[in-house]
Amino acid sequence: MKIGCHVSIAGGVFNAPERANALGCEIMQIFTRSPQGGPAPKLTPEIISNFKNLNTKYKILNTYIHTPYYINFASSNPRIKNGSASVIRDELERGSLIGAKYVMTHLGSAKDAGIKKGVEMVIEGIGKALNGYRGTTKLLLENSAGSGDVIGSNLADLAKILKALKPHKALAGICLDTQHAWASGYDWVNNFEGTIKRIDKEIGLKNIKLIHANDSKPAFNARKDRHDHIGKGTIGLKGFKNIITFVKKLDIDMLLETEHPEVTEDIKILKKLRGK
């Protein structure tokens, strides 16, 4: 179980390992392109070699890639829907080049189609992205905070997607965001054991491959996506003591997505809780 955070690639992807090390990271999450849009920067053999060498130098044990924000498999706009599949495939290929373990993605909003149809569209789109893929980097689906018709606030919906796409070995499981789960009604504080049983029933604990460790500005079940620093939000230290115990048993990595430079203190807190 390693701990890290999201790190900037400003100036080039090869700048990320040193930045991650300076923040106290053992692992890191990056974008490989602008999350708002535009063409992806080229990954030349020289850039790839430099990136891998610096990861070794700064002891960054795993790299994770987050997809851009505009991914939406359930869009009524064919350009967005088809473009989402294309970008996912490209990120997996790019991840394989730089040695990333996982690419994680949000799934989009089903406001035009409704959740049931939206889930079917996600299955179709991810299947399209994975058809013929032979790379080493695998894909994770991230749960959402439940606002509007965003897909993934109910882990049972993610389970349907995983089951339908089971033949695609490149789809490894889910990235569970603690804040999104809390905002969607998964109680880390007052009903921890019940929450673990619920998660296991809905998605299966074995399908959780990574944790986004974020405290929450909104209250429990508020259906809003707003991260806070560890111990400063409504989940609080009590909740994260529970979460750390749970994650240690799963033996999976934890990534913070809180603001810099305060994220360094968040990393220290999680490492301290891990030590206990």
Read off the pLDDT of residues 9-57 as tens digits, 9 standing for 90 and up: 999 999 999 999 999 999 999 999 999 988 999 999 999 999 999 999 9
Task: Tell me the β-bridge partners of 140.
Answer: 104, 173
- Cα 74 to Cα 150: distance, rounded to the nearest angstrom: 9
Tell me the pLDDT of the chain averaged across its residues.
96
R_g (Cα) of the chain, nearest Å: 18
Average pLDDT rounded to a whole number, residues 172-185 = 98
Question: Within the chain, where are the H helices?
Answer: 16-23, 45-57, 78-98, 115-130, 155-164, 178-183, 192-202, 236-250, 263-275
pLDDT recorded at residue 38: 87
Here the tokens at position 156 are 């049972």
> What percentage of the chain reaches a pLDDT higher than 90?
94
pLDDT at 113 over 80: no
- The model's confidence at residue 147, banded by pLDDT at 50, 70 and 90, is confident
- Cα 262 to Cα 276: distance, rounded to the nearest angstrom: 22
Q: How many domains does the chain have?
A: 1
pLDDT recorded at residue 139: 98
Cβ pair 180, 224 in contact under 8 A: no
For the beta carbon of residue 35, count every other beta carbon within 10 angstroms. 12
Task: Tell me the β-bridge partners of 1.
Answer: none
| CATH number, residue 159 | 3.20.20.150
Question: Which domain covers residue 251, as residue numbers?
Answer: 3-275
| pTM listed for this prediction | 0.96
- The model's confidence at residue 125, banded by pLDDT at 50, 70 and 90, is very high
CA 188 from centre of chain: 19
Specify the 3-state DSSP secondary structure of 150. strand
- Cα 99 to Cα 52: distance, rounded to the nearest angstrom: 8
